[in-house]
Amino acid sequence: MDFFEVVDTQRAIRRFRGEPVGDEVLARVLSAATRAPSARGAEPWGFVVVRDPGRRAAIASLYRQAWEAADAFTRATDADRDVRDRPHYTRMMTAAGRLATTLADAPVLIVCCLDHAQLGPIAGPDGALRSPVAAYASILPAVQNLCLAARALGLGTTLTTLHTAFEPQLKALLAIPPTVEPVALVPLGWPSDRFRPTRRRPVSEVAYLDAWGAPLLMH
Amino acid sequence: MDFFEVVDTQRAIRRFRGEPVGDEVLARVLSAATRAPSARGAEPWGFVVVRDPGRRAAIASLYRQAWEAADAFTRATDADRDVRDRPHYTRMMTAAGRLATTLADAPVLIVCCLDHAQLGPIAGPDGALRSPVAAYASILPAVQNLCLAARALGLGTTLTTLHTAFEPQLKALLAIPPTVEPVALVPLGWPSDRFRPTRRRPVSEVAYLDAWGAPLLMH
């Protein structure tokens, strides 16, 4: 599949059909994830592929509670007031809320992890991050590769981070070692929804020439 | 270009030919960046495209100092002892050190920024990040899209984060507002080196089934 067709049509997929995801496509998606860059070329990542229905249900239950707490906080503080009137907002929130009640229906959950013990000078001896930016730049590009590769194969994903609200429970459930941080929780499956081109603000509104706010003139 | 050929051959390019980068390919690369997901669909990013030779030279000078300080720290603490004997290490460090003295030769530097004021509940009223993971997951996928799209068009890039050591100076130089954080500094240009497939640890070593360390059996 053409690279730009993949990039231009990768959107959050939050409903999945029941069919299982085969080992071969899963391996291809994970291989693409590992092609990403990382600080020092250390490849400080690990991916826990959760297929077991019991563990998926346990994660889904924790995720739902985290969603409800986050949703209540956002409403109470009116923290989405800046985006609430944008065209995508209502549909996105409805879909995200539904995902929070149906996460266990995704046939695969991929927990993408960063090992602080493989960050060299970026983390201190206690694992604390000296440069959070450098650390997360060594795992989130891999997560994006994973989501794009899934799209290229017709698989749907969505990048979520709400698990940070129940990180200790998630780590216990999946036997994740103390130095390892789950950074993204990615449900994956054959999509119920269709892929289609995403809508975004035009480049002219978000890119500048030589200084913030200066128009990027295109000749 | 085929999606998987792009992903499998995207590597750090740290030497650039002198030819300028045209507006059209630059716009395509930036458009691909904006296709990435972001929390709340807020697209909380901005990209400062630095072409001006004076500003590039100023950034390159600061980058070189940051590199020398980081290199001295890593040597003094022997912080790369875990990766020093891997096959890629010596060549990578030589290339990265050379980039630190030649950064201004890249015809374009793209400063990829995250606006904390567009993060809703993820940042507090003072801009402090409540969830660094959710915040950086709203810019680093865009950076990866940018680097992949560049590769698809034959342009070289490398994702760097050393600018965090001179963030105040960088922000002053590019008039970046107080709420906006530069997250990645990406040199971009036509490569002197060739693209080729990257080498990575096999999926079997970094992916697990249902629990950390459990083999991901492929049938």
Pairing of the two strands A156-157 and A108-115: unpaired
Inter-residue contact A160 to A93 (CB < 8 Å): no
User: A47: which chain B residues are within 8 Å (Cβ-Cβ)?
Assistant: 206-208
Which are the contacts of A111, defined by CB distance < 8 A and separation ≥ 6?
A: A47, A48, A50, A163, A170, A174, A176, A182, A184, A185, A186
Measure B210 CA to nearest chain A CA, in Å.
Answer: 4
What tens digit of pLDDT does each residue of B117-126 get?
999 999 999 9
Interface contact B48-A80, CB threshold 8 A? no
Q: Which of A201, A203, A205, A219 to mutate to test the interface with B (most CBs of B within 10 A)?
A: A203
CA-based nearest residue in chain A for residue B152? A3
User: Which residue segments constitute the domains of chain A, with CATH numbers given?
Assistant: 3-206 (3.40.109.10)
Query: CA-nearest residue of chain B to A33?
Result: B7
Measured CA to CA, the distance from residue A47 to residue A112 in angstroms comes to 5
By the 8 A CB rule, do B112 and B47 touch? Answer: yes
Q: What is the pLDDT of residue A183?
A: 98
- Parallel, antiparallel or unpaired: strands B180-189 and B108-115: antiparallel
Question: Do residue A121 and residue B73 have CB atoms under 8 angstroms apart?
Answer: yes
Q: Give A65 to chain B, closest Cα distance, Å.
A: 17
The answer to whether the CB of B21 falls within 8 A of the CB of B107 is: yes
What is this model's ipTM?
0.98
> CA-nearest residue of chain B to A125?
B79
Distance from CA of B74 to the nearest CA of A (A): 6
Of B4, B35, B133, the CB nearest to A10: B35
Which among A49, A79, A176 has the least Cβ separation from residue B121?
A: A79
**Residue A56: closest C-alpha in chain B:** B210
Tell whether B40 lies on the interface with A, counting CB pairs under 8 A: yes
**Residue A144 in contact with partner chain B when CB distance is under 8 A:** yes
State the average pLDDT for chain B. 97
pLDDT at A94: 97
Q: Please tell me the predicted confidence (pLDDT) of residue A193.
A: 86
The nearest alpha carbon in chain B to A46 belongs to B206
B39 touches chain A (CB under 8 A): yes
Average pLDDT over residues B195-199: 93
Class of residue A47 by CB neighbours under 10 A (exposed 0-12, middle 13-18, buried 19+)? buried
Given this model, what pLDDT does residue A196 score?
92
Distance CA A71, CA B113 (A): 27
For residue A189, the SS3 value is: strand
Longest CA–CA span in chain B (Å) reads 57
The helix (run of H) or strand (run of E) holding residue A207 is: strand A207-209
A176 CB contacts (<8 Å, ≥6 apart)? A48, A111, A113, A170, A182, B212
Q: In terms of CA atoms, which chain A residue is nearest residue B112?
A: A207
CB contact under 8 A, A41 and B216: no
pLDDT at B214 over 90: yes
Q: Residue B158 has what DSSP assignment?
A: -
Ranges of H-type helices in A106-213: 132-136, 140-152, 167-174, 203-206
Return d(Cα B210, Cα B41) in angstroms, integer.
30
CB contact (8 A) between residue A206 and residue B158: no
Q: Closest partner residue to A152 among B4, B177, B207, by Cβ?
A: B4
pLDDT of residue B184 exceeding 70, the answer is yes
Q: How far apart are CA A14 and CA A11, in angstroms?
A: 10
Tell me which DSSP letter residue A188 carries.
E
CA atoms of B115 and B117, how far apart (whole Å): 5
| B90-101 pLDDT tens trace | 999 999 999 999
pLDDT at A12: 97
Residue B193 in this model has a pLDDT that exceeds 80 = yes
Please, what are the averages of pLDDT over each run of 10 residues along chain A (219 residues)? 97 95 97 98 98 98 98 97 95 97 98 98 96 98 98 98 98 98 98 93 96 85
Which residues 58-87 of chain A have a CB within 8 Å of chain B?
70, 73-74, 77, 79-80, 82-83, 86
CA–CA separation, A202 and B139 (whole Å): 16
Residue in B6, B23, B136 closest to A218 by CB: B23
Segment A93-149, tens digit of pLDDT: 999 999 999 999 999 999 999 999 999 999 999 999 999 999 999 999 999 999 999
Of A163, A136, A152, A138, give the one whose Cα is nearest residue A44: A138
CB pairs under 8 A between A and B: 271
In 10 A of CB B15, how many CB atoms? 16
Query: According to the model, what pLDDT value does residue B18 have?
Result: 87
- Taking contacts as CB-CB distances below 8 angstroms, the residues of chain B near A201 are 34, 43
Say if A203 is an interface residue toward chain B (CB within 8 Å): yes
